[in-house]
Amino acid sequence: MTQKTTTVLAMAFVIVASVLVNELVLKATSSDKDRDVASFGERFEPSQIKWEQELASSISKDDKAKTVLATKPNLQDRLLFQILEGRYEAQALNGKIHKFSLLPNQSPLEINTTDFMKEYSAVSKDFDIYDVEATNASTDSVKLKKKSGEVVGNLVINRDDKGRVIAIEVQ
């Protein structure tokens, strides 16, 4: 045989061998079902359903089971993430929030002072009654008092030129 024919046959052999090896490697890994995308595949497989039922049964029997079950948000969380929509930073002192500040690059919210005090006053300071003392376009001032009438603090709501809340501070 000539050198040209030998070279062509050797190259053809190398190509065929690499295709066969590649095919064997791909078939071996594609038969591994554990690596499928989570949302694909049979959803109502009896073994899967049985496993889920056993897991639910074991969790329901253990009162102290460590699971990722939701808990109801407390008053502070509801205020920060529902009413204030996560747009404000809160600073706490002794478990009570004493300042809310608008985060950078966030648009301020419109908040009614009376509604805010009725619903969320317990997160800021211990007091029994409150009086909205001064209200103007840029600032609301609320006196926090005990039942005896003694002033225990002041809540100040600072607003922008459109009446939206920039900061809330308890003094």
156 is a domain residue: yes
145 is a domain residue: yes
What's the pTM? 0.53
3 is a domain residue: no
If 0-12 CB within 10 Å is exposed, 13-18 middle and 19+ buried, where does residue 155 land? buried
pLDDT at 41: 54
18 is a domain residue: no
Output the domain CATH number for residue 163. 3.30.310
Q: What mean pLDDT is predicted for residues 52-58?
A: 79
Distance (Å) of CA 95 to CA 33, 61, 116: 50, 34, 19
Confidence of residue 16 (pLDDT cuts 50, 70, 90): very high
pLDDT at 88: 81
Residue-wise pLDDT for 102-159, tens only, equals 888 888 888 887 787 777 777 777 777 777 877 777 888 888 888 887 888 888 888 8
126 is a domain residue: yes
Residue-wise pLDDT for 78-109, tens only, equals 777 777 788 888 887 777 777 888 888 888 88
Query: Given a cut of 80, is residue 20 above it in pLDDT?
Result: yes
70 is a domain residue: no
33 is a domain residue: no
pLDDT at 75: 77
Q: What mean pLDDT is predicted for residues 46-57?
A: 77
A 10 A CB-CB count for 122 gives 12
Domain count, the chain: 1
Containing domain of residue 146, as a range? 75-170
Diameter over CA atoms, the chain: 115
Query: Given a cut of 70, is residue 70 above it in pLDDT?
Result: no
